[in-house]
């Protein structure tokens, strides 16, 4: 009799542990996509409402996409009269969709319903258009192309990238390390409530436009200040009451290594750091 009770207890513990494990396990989907023409660069577009995006370049010809949905952890406190004695079984998925057409890949998930992180391995020659809103950062490494990245409530980090960059992080830090740049291509780096920290090759040639409303600007490049003729003047004609207004843009204009395409740096409450690579 004791033996039967002990076996029954073991079965109960095993089933309970298994059900709890299922209830707390994150959902992961993974797909591998072949490019229409692996000899040419590809383009990736991905936008998330809740979640973060990671893109890593590698020496391969396929695009590997992994989506992870973070399941709400089960707790006894979640029980009520209706669910007492029952276990929560997750039936949600990432709803991952990947579409490829002529080396363009569009990635989507049900991130508007639940937090979903997306990780992508791509050939090194890849252009990106990435955006996030809540609950995640954007991280890109070892990729070269036209990179357009926007994050509302998370940080943006672009490490060891090449090509051209247009990047914005509204409420967190923006950090970029460019190993090489596309000649004659303008770039833009901006935040509202974080620092802008960008590293360029020492051979950079650019015109710079810098706006730091409540922060400071630092650089180890020798930046030659341009005359005030570059400043934008906004002039309004007289209104019905006879008022006239004229304003001069609060921006610094300069050149690095003789000048080149225009690079814009903007931060409302953070500092701007323009670094020269060693």
How high is the pLDDT of residue 133?
Answer: 96
The whole model's pTM is what? 0.82
Question: How far apart, in whole angstroms, are the C-alpha atoms of residue 175 and residue 53?
Answer: 15
Residue 94: CB partners within 8 Å, gap ≥ 6? 27, 28, 29, 67, 68, 69, 109, 110, 116
Sign of the torsion formed by the C-alpha atoms of 17, 19, 23 and 25: positive
Query: Is 80's pLDDT higher than 90?
Result: no
Tokens of 266: 């903007």
Query: Is 48's pLDDT higher than 80?
Result: yes
Instruction: Summarize pLDDT for 59-68 with one digit per residue, the tens.
Output: 999 999 999 9
What is the total residue count of the chain?
Answer: 278
Tell me the pLDDT band of 245, cut-offs 50, 70 and 90.
confident
Instruction: Summarize pLDDT for 154-212 with one digit per residue, the tens.
Output: 999 999 999 999 999 999 999 999 999 999 999 999 999 999 999 999 999 999 999 99
The H or E element that residue 119 is part of is strand 116-123
How high is the pLDDT of residue 9?
Answer: 36
How high is the pLDDT of residue 66?
Answer: 96
Every domain of the chain and the residues it spans:
26-71+90-140, 155-278
Q: Are 35 and 42 in contact, with CB atoms under 8 Å apart?
A: yes
Q: What percentage of the chain carries pLDDT values higher than 70? A: 81
Between residues 25 and 128, the one the model is more confident about: 128
Instruction: Summarize pLDDT for 85-127 with one digit per residue, the tens.
Output: 777 666 667 889 999 999 999 999 988 888 999 999 999 999 9
The whole-chain average pLDDT of the chain stands at 85
**Which of 194, 54, 38 shows the shortest CA–CA distance to 117?**
54
Tokens of 207: 């015109």
Pairing of strands 233-236, 97-101: unpaired
CA torsion angle 140 141 146 152 (round to 10): 20
How high is the pLDDT of residue 236?
Answer: 67
Tell me the pLDDT band of 3, cut-offs 50, 70 and 90.
very low
Question: How far apart, in whole angstroms, are the C-alpha atoms of residue 31 and residue 9?
Answer: 41
How high is the pLDDT of residue 47?
Answer: 97
Between residues 3 and 31, the one the model is more confident about: 31
**Which of 188, 147, 134, 143 shows the shortest CA–CA distance to 161?**
143
């Amino acid at each position: 009799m004791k033996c039967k009770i002990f076996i029954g207890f073991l079965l109960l513990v095993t089933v309970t542990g298994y059900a709890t494990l299922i209830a707390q396990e994150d959902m992961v989907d993974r797909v591998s996509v072949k490019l229409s023409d692996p000899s040419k660069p590809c383009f990736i577009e991905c936008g998330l409402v809740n979640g973060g995006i990671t893109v890593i370049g590698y020496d391969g010809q396929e695009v590997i996409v992994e989506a992870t949905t973070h399941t709400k952890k089960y707790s006894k406190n979640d029980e009520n009269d209706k669910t007492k004695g029952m276990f929560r079984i997750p039936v949600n998925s990432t709803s991952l969709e990947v579409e490829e057409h002529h080396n363009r890949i569009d990635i989507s998930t049900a991130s508007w319903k639940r937090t979903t992180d997306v990780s992508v391995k791509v050939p090194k020659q890849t252009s990106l258009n990435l955006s996030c809103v809540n609950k995640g950062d954007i991280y890109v490494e070892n990729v070269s192309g036209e990179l357009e990245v926007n994050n509302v409530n998370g940080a943006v980090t672009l490490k060891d990238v090449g090509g051209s960059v247009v990047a914005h992080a509204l409420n967190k830090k923006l950090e970029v390390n460019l190993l090489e740049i596309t000649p004659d291509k303008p770039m833009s780096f901006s935040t509202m409530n974080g620092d802008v920290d960008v590293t360029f090759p020492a051979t950079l040639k650019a015109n710079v436009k810098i706006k730091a409303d409540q922060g400071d600007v630092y650089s180890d490049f020798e930046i030659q200040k341009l005359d005030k003729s570059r400043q934008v003047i906004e002039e309004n004609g007289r209104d019905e009451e006879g008022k006239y207004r004229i304003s001069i843009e609060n921006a610094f204009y300069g050149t690095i290594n003789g000048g080149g395409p225009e690079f814009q740096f903007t931060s409302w409450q953070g500092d701007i750091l323009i670094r020269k690579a060693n």
